[in-house]
Amino acid sequence: MVFGDSLSSGYGLPRDTGWVSLLRDRLQQERLDYEVVNTSISGETTRGGLSRITQSLTAHHPSIVILELGGNDGLRGQPVEATRDNLEGIIKACQQHGAKVLLIGMRLPPNYGMGYTQKFQNIYPELAKRYRVPLTPFMLEGFGFDTSMFQADRIHPTAAAQPIILDNIWKTLKPLLG
């Protein structure tokens, strides 16, 4: 189950070109018997995710949850502590339901200030270590500062960037697939 925001819901992309669709294709190509459920919502925050995680876990019974949230919190300048607490609650809920968690890290543009951006970025490795979950440090690694790989809003990656996102995530997801 992919549990994320617009970066995982395929915002602004042609149908079936987002990284989650590409993940479905790769699982099939590798003959790995997994069904991918995308419960991502554009604009989702960690607070919203925390409020709906139990329902999603109960409805879908995932063996693995790819948790990709926090970017909207950071872009809105939410307190880092609240973002961390919400992500922690989501991770705990997943683990209590017997799901493995893959945490997807996010970074903020430097215009949010060095102090805030560093505290925000540190949330992900801290939680990964505390809860012993694998971490993809930055889903936009390799192109995050290349404006040609983003839609006009300069927030959402283009279709050309989606295979790179999948490759970034696949490195830490594949060992969970057994």
156 is known as an active-site residue: yes
Q: What are phi and psi of 73, to 5 degrees?
A: -60, -50
Q: Identify the residue whose tokens are 């993940």.
A: 23
Going 6 to 28 to 139 to 142, the CA torsion angle's sign is negative
DSSP for residue 73: H
Q: Please tell me whether residue 109 adopts helix, strand or coil conformation.
A: coil
Give me the catalytic one of 5, 6, 40, 56. Answer: 6
* Cβ contact 136:68 at 8 Å: no
Give me the catalytic one of 42, 60, 97, 156. Answer: 156
The structure tokens listed for 41 are: 């919502």
Instruction: Write out the catalytic residue numbers.
Output: 6, 153, 156
